[in-house]
Amino acid sequence: MSTLFEQGHALLIGVGDDLPITVNDATAIQNVLADPNLAGYPPENITILVNEEADRKGILKALDDLVEKADENATVFIFYSGHGGVYEPWDQYYLVPNGFDADNFEDTWVKAEELQERLKALKSKKTLLFLDCCHAQGMTMNQSKSAPVEKAATPKTGLTKIDELAKKMDDVSGLSYVSSCRANELSWIIGEDNSLFTQVLLEVLRGEHKKEFDDSYIRMTEALQHLWKEVPKRSPEPQRPTVKIEMDDDLILTLVPKAQRKDAPKVVVEKDDFLIEITKDEIEGLKENFKTQTDLIKQLRTTKLTFIDASSVFKTELQILQAQDERASLMQKIKELQKQIA
């Protein structure tokens, strides 16, 4: 079997500006998709736009390039992390690119219909759209009016009302979309690395959502099941991803990571004068420890907020640093073992 998911094409957008974690989200997904030992997308088929690159011009050009490059056999993975905007008097929905200027809205926004037109133009009928932005549902509505926009409001708690931009894109053939929460819910940022929705999506792309794989591919239904289960469970308030699927088969998302394929070989390597037999179970054990350290860090951060005295706060901060160091060490070991098995 090839080490690359040859038909995979991806466009990843992390707008930045007042939401720097959106850059982390897009970059983290790029790292997993481009890794031949994980998702296996050809690096030349991945376009990432972050910070200043994710302006109106950059986003529209990247979508146009995707229309030209991806053929009818392609699987197209589009991820957007940032704000979405709505001018309510006109029901005008739009993405808020880097450099958006409410006083010059026509030259700095990306309207819903501009996104729709390019998705319709894709030759592929296997398109995956992941939206992590405000007002996601409205991006799917057919728009005919335009009007001046007010300055986009900055959500007080993370990214809000995602599925306002997505729910009515039913006229785009072959499109399956996932938005990180319902219109009346918040999309939470928990921790310092990635948004909650992206954290859970990354677990699927890394093959961490289950221990045994009978298939060579991770499929769309697996991703949905993990997102539906884990996002609401981990969120401090209701957050339920919403989905619209159009496919006549269980759509392939990525390759299964090499180390977790059913036929992954045992490998003997020499380290510190000992022979170590590396197996999938050992890697799974390290991943369980990694998750334990992550949960501990979240718990300690919550506990720290309850302390008033400086001494207790300081001790808790030291515990957090130690857990972060342990987690980083575990991740390094996991990557090394996966490379040796590959």
* The predicted structure's pLDDT at residue 325: 83
Q: Sheet containing 110-111: give its strands across.
A: 83-87, 92-96, 110-111
Q: What is the pTM of this model?
A: 0.70
> Residues of the chain whose pLDDT is less than 50?
1, 134-162, 168, 265-278
Q: Which amino acid is at 80?
A: Y
* The predicted structure's pLDDT at residue 272: 42
pLDDT, tens digit (0-9, with 9 covering 90-100), for 153-195: 333 223 344 455 555 465 677 888 888 877 667 778 777 788 8
Among residues 287, 214, 252, 35, which one has the least CA distance to residue 124? 252
Three-class secondary structure of residue 155 per DSSP: coil
* The predicted structure's pLDDT at residue 27: 96
* The predicted structure's pLDDT at residue 158: 35
Among residues 210, 328, 220, which one has the least CA distance to residue 260? 210
* The predicted structure's pLDDT at residue 270: 41
Q: Which amino acid is at 193?
A: D
Using alpha carbons only, what angle is made at residue 242 by residues 240 and 248, rounded to the nearest 5 degrees?
140
Q: Where are the domains of the chain?
A: 8-257, 267-341
Three-class secondary structure of residue 76 per DSSP: strand
**Local structure of residue 104 (DSSP, 8 states):** G
Q: Which amino acid is at 245?
A: I
Q: Which residue has the tokens 């880097």?
A: 98
* The predicted structure's pLDDT at residue 171: 64
What's the CATH fold of domain 8-257?
Answer: Rossmann fold (3.40.50)
